[in-house]
Amino acid sequence: MKGVRFWGTRGSLPVALTASAVRAKVIAAVRGAAGRTFATNEDLEAYVDGLGFATSGTFGGHSPCVEVITGGPDYMLCDLGTGVRPFGQSVIARHGATPQTFHVFMSHVHWDHIMGFPFFAPAYRPGNRIFIYGGHETLESALRRQQAPPSFPVDFDALRASIEFIRLEPDRDYDVAGLTVRSMLQEHAGDSYGYRFTASGKTVIYSTDSEHKLDDLSEAQRFVDFFRGADLVVFDAMYSLADSISVKADWGHSSNIVGVDLCRMAGARHLCLFHHEPVHSDEALARVLAETQRYEELARRDGAHALHVSAAYDGMEIAL
Amino acid sequence: MEFTSRKLADVVVAAPSGAIDHPNAMKVQQALAPFIEEEAAGRAPLVLDFSAVDYISSMGLRVLMMASKAMRARNVAMGIAGLQPSVAEIFDIARFRLVIDTFPTVRDALAAVSPAAASAYDAASA
């Protein structure tokens, strides 16, 4: 297992930058460049990189789709949000018509996690093989239903790839494409499942759409055990802690602070904030990241090791 | 973790100390129970003196949220006073000041919830 590549990181609903948001970035960049000269392209790029990610880049707006880079010939994904469309295009650009095998692990079948599949071009190509794993009995029916009339013009049966659905039992190890995969049940409307991927001494956790009620130490401990020693934890940090346990309690999501606490207790090395709130601007998400990094400093007591904290964005890659 | 409490006029002032991390959060919850449970507490406003609390985790913050909800449901005031700078930062990061009233000092909190308690505090401090 080589790493993780994020194709979609936004929760609930895909979003796009508006014209006014792009204009604000350009104005900030031009204003910052006033009076400067850039002798080389490297100088210019260094200036742009120094602007901060919220100005020089964007977190993106595709809904959840995360690639686990196996290091082998097969592709592995978590969820089929709209990020799976550019993923599919990249696979076709790389391999052309050569058949490929895809293993997809589904957290659950809420709309934002399945809506990209009708636009996943490799699903239309004969010879490709797609294995879709998950804990939900409704896995196949949910994907079929979103392509049924009147919701979509192309029926699921028109997909020419071989598509197989595989029901997983939680808390059991499976060997898939050279990785050991284990799922666990999470708190979310209709249930969701987190995944633990292990290979070559490296571990990645994908835990999204998971609410932590914080009223039961043993339940927290269940997650600590699941996250134990992970090299990377991709974690649902959609809300502030106050929101997640007050006005948005029972909405099925978690917070940045809970992510830090669970990862610290588990001895994880890297927390990556994920499933971003769709109403948040790039500036708001950058602020959440900075605050989370500060909370990690405050929570680091008694000489404990530092937990690296990042925020996922569409196109981000994390090497293990 | 230590926990003390005292009554000033009609207000209970409770003072935890140390780190309210995950293991200690349950202890704080149990210590607060007599003051927030309807059958036990009556209707005394509650001020939490946080001047000796140097850290609070998500589970500790949840305990405060549950206490605040219980008090609000009975229309009884609750405030938290004297946050150390690092704990104040955690409150801000968690957006907790939007849902729980905080005050610079215990005196400020008492003045907000009960003039009689503030006077009692002044008399005791004189």
pLDDT for the residue numbered B39: 62
pLDDT digits (tens, 9 = 90+) for A150-193: 999 999 999 999 999 999 999 999 999 999 999 999 999 999 99
Partners of B59 on chain A (C-beta within 8 Å) are 214, 217, 220, 261
Of A217, A241, A245, the CB nearest to B22: A217
Which one, of A224, A219, A309, lies nearest residue A265 by Cα? A224
How do residues A179-231 score in pLDDT, each as one tens digit? 999 999 999 999 999 999 999 999 999 999 999 988 888 899 999 999 999 99
Cβ-Cβ pairs closer than 8 A, A with B, add up to: 64
Instruction: Extract the tokens encoding A156.
Output: 């699921």
Residue in B23, B17, B24, B79 with CA at minimum distance from that of residue B54:
B17
What is residue A13's predicted lDDT score, i.e. its pLDDT? 97
CB A309 within 8 A of CB A273: yes
Residue with tokens 């004297």: B82
Say which of B19, B62, B92 has its CB closest to residue A245. Answer: B62
Closest-CA residue in chain A for B91? A242
Q: Which residue of B has its CA nearest to A217?
A: B22
Residue in B55, B58, B96 nearest the CB of A214: B58
Least confident span in A25-34, A57-66, B35-44: B35-44
- CA-based nearest distance A277→chain B, Å: 15
Residue pair A84/A65 in contact (Cβ under 8 Å)? The answer is: yes
Q: Residue range B95-112: average pLDDT?
A: 95
Beta A75-78 vs A65-69: how paired, if at all?
Answer: antiparallel
Residue A167 tokens read as 């029901």
How many residues are present in chain B?
126
B124 has a chain A CB within 8 A of its CB: no
Say whether residue A302 is in contact with chain B using an 8 A CB cutoff.
no
Q: Which two tokens stand for residue A260?
A: 């830090």
Instruction: From chain A, pick out residues whose CB is under 8 angstroms from the CB of B69.
Output: 246
Span A278-294, mean pLDDT? Answer: 97
Which has the higher per-residue pLDDT, B72 or A227?
A: A227
B82-93 tens-digit pLDDT: 999 999 999 999
Average the pLDDT over A90-108 and give the result.
Answer: 97
